[in-house]
Chain A
Amino acid sequence: MIWSKRSTSSPSRADARLAGLCSAAAGLVAAILLLIVLFLLHESRPVLQRVEWLRFLTDASWHPAEGLFGLAPMLWATLVSSAGALLLAGTLGVASALFCRFYAPPSASRWFRRLVALLAGIPSVVFGFWGLTVLVPIIASWRPPGASLLTGILVLTLMILPTVALIADAALAAVPEIYLRGAAALGMSRSGTILGVALPAAKGGIIAGILLAAGRALGETMAVLMVSGNVVQMPHSLFDPVRTLTANIALEMAYATGEHRAALFVSGLVLTGLVILLAMVAARFGEVRHHG
C-alpha cells in the first residue's frame, strides 16, 4: 500500500466541511433579504406607530415639518411615469426585437444587437444627465419648464428599452423554427407570420421581459430624479413637474430626521412591496412559459 490508511476517511469529511461552509454562506445570503425587510420595518416604526397605514395614501400632501406624510402624489407619479415608459419601451423594444429576428439583414441585426447590449450597460445617472442637458432644454423651449413627467417618461423609456428588446429577442429566438416554416408553407405573409405565429408563441417570454422592465422602471432613481422637476404634486398633464417615490427618498434622506426619516423608509417599504409583487407575477408567467 502506497498511501496511508488515514487518508481514506478524509474525503467525506472534507466534503461535509465544505457543504457546511457553503450552507452557512447560503444562509447568510438568504438572511440579507430578511435583514433588509427587518431594517426597513424597524426604521419606519416611529411613524407607523403614530400614523395609520391608509393615511399615507389619503393625507392631503407631503409636509414632513407638519407631520403630513401623504405619499399619494409621489406614488401616482411613480406609477404614471413607469406606465408611460412601459408603453413606449414595450412597443419600441418588441419592434426592435422583430427587426433583429425578421427584418434586418444579418450584419445589421448583429450590430443592432451589440448597440442594444451596450446600452443595457449605460448607468442610469448618465441617462439622467443626458436628459437634463439635452432633452429638458428641448422640451422647455416648447412647453416650459421642461423638467416634467414627459421627460421622466422619455428617459425611463431609454433606460428600460434594452431590457425589453434583449428579452423579447431571446423569446423570439426560442420560437421553434418549425412553427415559422409551417406558417411559410401555408403561404402566410411575413406580417401574418409575425402577428399570427411568432408573437403568440413568444408571448410568455415577452411579457416576463416587460414585467422585469417594469420593476426596473418603478425602482429607478437617478434618471427620473434628474429630469422630472421634483415638485410634489399630482400629475395632471405630461408637462407638469413631478416627484417619484424614489426621487423623494434620494432628495430628502440627506437631512431627514425622526418621523420624516421614518416616512422615507415607509416609501422604501412600499417600493419593495410593489417590486416583489411584480417579481411574483413575472415568475408565474415564466412558469407558464416553461410548462407550455
Chain B
Amino acid sequence: MTQAFDRHTLFFPETDGEAYTLGPLQSGPLCCVPEPLIRVTNLSVSYGNHPALKDVTLDIYRGCITALIGPSGCGKTSFLSVLNRLTDMIPGCRVEGGIRIGGQDILAPRLDVSALRREVSMIFQKPNPFPLSIRRNIEMPLREHGMKKRADLDEKLERVLTDVGLWAEVKDRLDKPALALSGGQQQRLCIARALALEPSVLLMDEPCSALDPLSSGVVEDLIGRLKGRYTVVIVTHNLAQARRIANYAAFFWLRERVGTLVEFGQCRQIFEAPAHDLTAAYVNGARG
C-alpha cells in the first residue's frame, strides 16, 4: 500500500525517542551542527500553467532555524507547503524536483502523507485552533494517532502547554473553548498542538504577523527556544525578527514573475555581507 515513513531516521543521532520528553526547552543541545536534514534539489512548483517557484536547491540544517525572506508572492509559502505535501490539497498544483528529508524521498507518490505531516508540522499565519475546548484541541489529534490512555494524554497536555508557556495561563480553564483565547494564546496553542505530535521539523508561515506586537514578541521568544530541539523553517517579512532568531536565511525574489532562490547562507552573512546585489538592496532598503 503506502510507503512507510520511517521516523527513526529523523531523530537526533545521539538520542532516542525519549529525547522529546526533556524538560524546559532552554536546555536543548547546542544548535547548528551543520548537518543537512532536508535536501531540496531543483524544486519547481506550478499552479495550473502558472509557475510559482523555479529551480530551488537548498539544504536545511538539523536543529537550526532557517528564515525564508523576500517580497510577497515570491513562492516562500509554496516552498513551505511542499515540505509537508500540503500542496496535495491544492487542485492543479504540480511539483517537480527532489526533496529528501532524513534521506527519504518525500515526493514519492505512495508515501504515507499522514505520517509525513506528523513529522513535519505546520503553523499558519492566522492562528487556527479548532472550535473545541483547549484540552480537546491537543488531545483529539493524539487520540486519532493512537494515544488513548488518560494518564498519557494528561501528562502530554501539561508538558506541551508548559513548553509553550501557556500552562499557567490556561490550566484552570482547559475545558473552555479555545476560540475564546487571545490571538497570541491561540497561536501558542497551535504550536503546542503541533509539538504534542513530536514532530522533528516545524514549518511556520509568518506565525507572528497576525498578532499584536506584545503577543508577537512572546511567540517569537518561544520560536527562539525551539532552536536545537526542532528544525524550524520560518517565513517572515519582519527582517529584524529573522535576524534575531534565525541561524540561516534564504532570500527569494521574483524573476520574470517566477519565484527563485537568490541567496542562501548563514543569517549573519546574509544581513551583513550579502553576496548578491539584490539581497543587499532588499535587506538594506527594507531596513532603511
Taking Cβ atoms with an 8 Å cutoff, the residues of A that contact B are 1-5, 7-9, 11-13
Q: Which of B2, B5, B113, B146 contacts A3 (CB 8 A)?
A: B146
User: What are the residues of chain B within 8 A of A3 when measuring CB–CB?
Assistant: 145-147
User: What are the residues of chain B within 8 A of A4 when measuring CB–CB?
Assistant: 146
Is the CB of B115 closer than 8 A to any CB of chain A? yes
Number of B residues whose C-beta is below 8 Å from A?
A: 16
- Alpha-carbon separation in the docked complex, A4 to B146 (Å): 7
B147 with A9: CB separation less than 8 A = no
A9 with B2: CB separation less than 8 A = yes
Q: Which of B2, B144, B146, B152 contacts A12 (CB 8 A)?
A: B2
A-B contact pairs, 12 of them (CB 8 A): A2-B17, A2-B198, A3-B145, A3-B146, A4-B146, A5-B4, A8-B112, A8-B145, A9-B1, A9-B2, A9-B115, A11-B144
A13 with B1: CB separation less than 8 A = yes
Is the CB of B209 closer than 8 A to any CB of chain A? no
User: What are the residues of chain A within 8 A of B5 when measuring CB–CB?
Assistant: 8
The binding surface of chain A is classed by DSSP as helix
- Alpha-carbon separation in the docked complex, A166 to B198 (Å): 53
**Total residue contacts A-B, CB cutoff 8 A:** 32
In the assembled complex, how far is the CB of residue B69 from the closest CB belonging to chain A, in whole angstroms?
34
- Alpha-carbon separation in the docked complex, A7 to B5 (Å): 12
A1 with B145: CB separation less than 8 A = no
In the assembled complex, how far is the CB of residue A11 from the closest CB belonging to chain B, in whole angstroms?
4
User: What are the residues of chain B within 8 A of A9 when measuring CB–CB?
Assistant: 1-2, 4, 112, 115
User: What are the residues of chain A within 8 A of B2 when measuring CB–CB?
Assistant: 9, 12
Scan B111-135; emit 1 where CB is below 8 A from any A CB, else 0: 0111100000000000000000000
- Alpha-carbon separation in the docked complex, A13 to B110 (Å): 13
Q: List 6 other contacts, CB 8 Å, given A2-B147, A8-B112, A12-B2.
A: A2-B152, A4-B146, A9-B4, A12-B1, A12-B112, A12-B113
- Alpha-carbon separation in the docked complex, A7 to B147 (Å): 10
A7 with B146: CB separation less than 8 A = yes
- Smallest CB-CB separation from B7: which chain A residue? A1
User: What are the residues of chain A within 8 A of B115 when measuring CB–CB?
Assistant: 8-9
In the assembled complex, how far is the CB of residue A8 from the closest CB belonging to chain B, in whole angstroms?
4
- Alpha-carbon separation in the docked complex, A92 to B7 (Å): 69
User: What are the residues of chain A within 8 A of B146 when measuring CB–CB?
Assistant: 3-4, 7
Q: Which of B195-240 contact A (CB under 8 A)?
A: 198
B17 with A1: CB separation less than 8 A = yes
Scan B3-34; emit 1 where CB is below 8 A from any A CB, else 0: 01101000000000100000000000000000
A11 with B152: CB separation less than 8 A = no
